[in-house]
């Protein structure tokens, strides 16, 4: 069975976070809580680990995998450019459940982009997800911790029930809010395209864009 790391998001145990990062650094896959559902985390610069995500989820290789980063400084390494609209959305909605799709830099694995040349990125508002990304110092994969097209998980128990020993560890950070996943916007296009309506409403985002 996967290793279970119980971490209080209000007071994260640095030793537990370090253990999770150790598993990621060694090419392992962990489930961890986000501000929406539990996510599946692998080192976004380790192609063998990324391949495990596809196998675990039974995910089509043509389906890109988004990532979480620890801070804005990591963004420029991963993207070819940041459009003006991107700066505005980042300022207003990061950290939070908004995934922005950028043109990927040459530093991003084609496995993450699924050959599209684009990468979905966000900074999470969940303290555990953010700490993982910061301590890993690499992009952290952020696809939901479930078999593709199955229901998302809001507790570590649900993750263990659905994925079992497919993963190396799960961080039990309590129940997540659930509801809707992150809103996804492709900002490589003008006007930007909503790829998924999620936790942040379309109207709220459009009101922000009107002010640019």
- Starting at the edge strand found earlier in the chain, the sheet holding 67-68 runs 140-141, 67-68, 118-122, 98-103, 183-186, 193-196
The 10s digit of each residue's pLDDT in 71-121 is 999 999 999 999 999 999 999 999 999 999 999 999 999 999 999 999 999
* pLDDT digit string, tens, across residues 26-50: 999 999 999 999 999 999 999 999 9
Q: Helix (H, G, I), strand (E, B), or coil: what is residue 54?
A: helix
pLDDT at 66: 98
Closest by alpha carbon to 181, among 165, 190, 191, 194?
194
- pLDDT of 212 above 80: no
**Nearest CA to 102 among 207, 41, 185, 181?**
185
User: Confidence band (pLDDT; 50, 70, 90) for 195?
Assistant: very high
- Please tell me whether the peptide bond between 7 and the residue prior to it is cis, using omega within 30 degrees of 0: no
CATH assignment of 3-210, among 1.10.3720.10, 3.90.870.10, 3.40.50.10610, 3.40.50.1000: 3.90.870.10
pLDDT, mean of residues 3-14: 97
Looking at residue 210, its pLDDT comes to 84
Identify which has the larger pLDDT, 185 or 211: 185
Q: Nearest CA to 181 among 105, 96, 92, 102?
A: 96
Mean pLDDT of the chain: 97
pLDDT at 198: 97
Query: Measured between alpha carbons, how far is 51 from 111 in angstroms, rounded to an integer?
Result: 8
pLDDT value at 207 more than 80: yes
């Amino acid at each position: 069975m996967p290793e279970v790391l119980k971490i209080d998001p209000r007071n994260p145990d640095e030793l537990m976070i370090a253990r999770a990062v150790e598993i990621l650094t060694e090419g392992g896959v962990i489930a961890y809580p986000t501000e929406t559902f539990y996510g599946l985390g692998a080192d976004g610069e380790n192609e063998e680990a990324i391949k495990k995500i596809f196998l675990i989820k039974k995910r089509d290789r043509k389906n890109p995998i988004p990532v979480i980063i620890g801070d804005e400084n990591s963004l420029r390494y991963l993207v070819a450019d940041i459009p003006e609209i991107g700066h505005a959305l980042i300022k207003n909605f990061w950290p939070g459940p908004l995934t922005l799709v950028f043109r990927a830099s040459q530093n991003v694995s084609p496995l993450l982009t699924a050959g599209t040349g684009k990468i979905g990125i966000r900074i999470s508002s969940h303290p555990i997800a953010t700490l993982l990304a910061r301590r890993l110092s690499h992009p952290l994969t952020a696809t939901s911790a479930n078999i593709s097209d199955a229901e998302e998980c809001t507790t570590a128990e649900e993750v263990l029930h659905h994925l079992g020993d497919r993963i190396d560890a799960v961080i039990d950070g309590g129940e997540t809010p659930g509801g809707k996943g992150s809103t996804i916007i492709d900002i490589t296009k003008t006007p930007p395209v909503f790829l998924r309506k999620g936790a942040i409403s379309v109207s709220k985002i459009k009101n922000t864009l009107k002010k640019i």
